[in-house]
Amino acid sequence: MHLWAAESFPNGLPCRRGYMTMSDDRTTGSVETQQGGRGMGSKKPLMAILLTAIISTLCLTARFSPAQTSMELIRWREFSCAKQTNQFGSRITAVDGVQRGGFIVFGDNEFARLWSSTVHTTSPEGKEFCQGFAMYDFEDGSSILAKLDIAGDPKTKQIGTIVFLSGTKRFKGITGRGTISAWIPAQWDMYAEVEASYSVTGP
pLDDT in tens, 32-58: 445 555 555 556 677 777 777 776 666
Determine if the pTM surpasses 0.85: no
- pLDDT band for position 131 (50/70/90)? very high
Looking at this protein, which amino acid is placed at residue 19? Y
Three-state DSSP state, 31: helix
Are residues 82 and 33 located together in one domain of the fold? no
Asked if residues 149 and 160 have their Cβ atoms less than 8 Å apart, the reply is yes
- pLDDT interval class at 109 (50, 70, 90): confident
CB neighbourhood size of 26 (10 A): 11
**Which of these three, 44, 64, 84, is where a domain ends?**
64
Residue 199 vs residues 149, 158, 179: alpha-carbon distances, Å:
21, 26, 16
Of the three residues 19, 48, 64, the one that is the final residue of a domain is 64
Answer yes or no: do 124 and 143 share one domain. yes
In this structure, the answer to whether residues 47 and 95 fall within a common structural domain is: no
What is the CB-side half-sphere exposure of residue 160 using CA atoms within 13 A?
A: 21
Distance CA 64, CA 29 (A): 53
Same domain flag for 106 and 190: yes
**6 - beta bridge partners?**
16
Predicted local confidence at residue 90, as pLDDT: 72
Is 88 strand, coil or helix? strand
β strands within the chain, DSSP E: 2-8, 14-21, 72-88, 95-106, 111-122, 128-138, 143-152, 158-168, 175-183, 190-199
Per-residue pLDDT tens digits for 7-19: 444 455 454 444 4
Of the three residues 64, 91, 113, the one that is the final residue of a domain is: 64
Give the number of C-alpha atoms closer than 13 A to the C-alpha of residue 18, restricted to the C-beta side.
2
* Domain, as residue range, for 93: 72-199
In this predicted structure, the answer to whether residue 174 has a pLDDT above a threshold of 60 is yes
Q: How many Cα atoms within 13 Å fall on the side-chain side of residue 175?
A: 9
Burial of 181 (0-12, 13-18, 19+ CB in 10 A): middle
